[in-house]
Amino acid sequence: MEVNKETKFTLSIETAVSILVTVAMIIGMWYSLQAEIELAKELPEPEVSRMEYDLKDQMVRDSILNTEEKVEKLEEKVDSVKDDTRMIQETLLDMNNKWGLQMNNKFISYLVLTFCSLSSWLHSQSVNLNSFAEIQGLNIQKCAVVQVNASWNHANRVQVEKLSKLCYVAEIDLNNKKIGAVIQKEWKIKVVPTIIILKEGVEVMRYEPGISMRFDEQEVFDKIKKEIQWQEKIW
């Protein structure tokens, strides 16, 4: 078929209406899409992602600060041990000179090392519970403070051994394959670390940190001491 300026096309009313409807739909969709784009431009940026970023950033900063504080405390302890060691050594040497004790330097060093080991043990009486049999032993403890934590959250661990003079102190690691999952379910642990006060194996109080997963150590110690003192009145 040859097309030229004299060629004529015939178009039915039905076809014309279909074309018009199709064009109208396309135009309508285009305007609708443009309106949605303009509306999207006016919407505020999502706050959730920013909140998540700020939260993670704060957690990292808190963890770093916590680590720095623990390093400083360790340095203070090391300095204290050095001072104690020097004082003990001087005392033993003085005793040796005054009383004529036949102690050579090796024996004196041995006594100093023994004393330091004993002192360290006395100030670190926190028991790690690694089996259900050991956990059952909590039932015979009149008062027990148990810290439930996870090895991946060690930076936020509370030094509960400082409470060993008040009552029995123990720790449970949820990463322990034998008991971790069961303890988390049975004890309803929602966040780590969680510190629980037990009376003959029965929970009387628990303490959970905020969203930072970190306790203010002195603050929680004060709360635990007050609770233990209160419980002692009714035990």
> What are the per-10-residue average pLDDT scores of the chain (235 residues)?
59 71 82 80 64 71 70 69 66 63 55 53 70 87 94 93 90 94 94 95 94 91 92 74
Q: How many CA atoms lie within 13 A of 78 on its CB side?
A: 6
Q: How far apart are CA 134 and CA 201, in angstroms?
A: 12
SS3 12: coil
Q: What is the pLDDT of residue 213?
A: 87
Q: How far apart are CA 232 and CA 129, in angstroms?
A: 25
* Distance, C-alpha 154 to centroid of its chain: 7
Q: What is the pLDDT of residue 82?
A: 64
Q: What is the pLDDT of residue 153?
A: 92
Q: What is the pLDDT of residue 192?
A: 95
| CB atoms closer than 10 angstroms to residue 45 | 6
Q: What is the pLDDT of residue 15?
A: 73
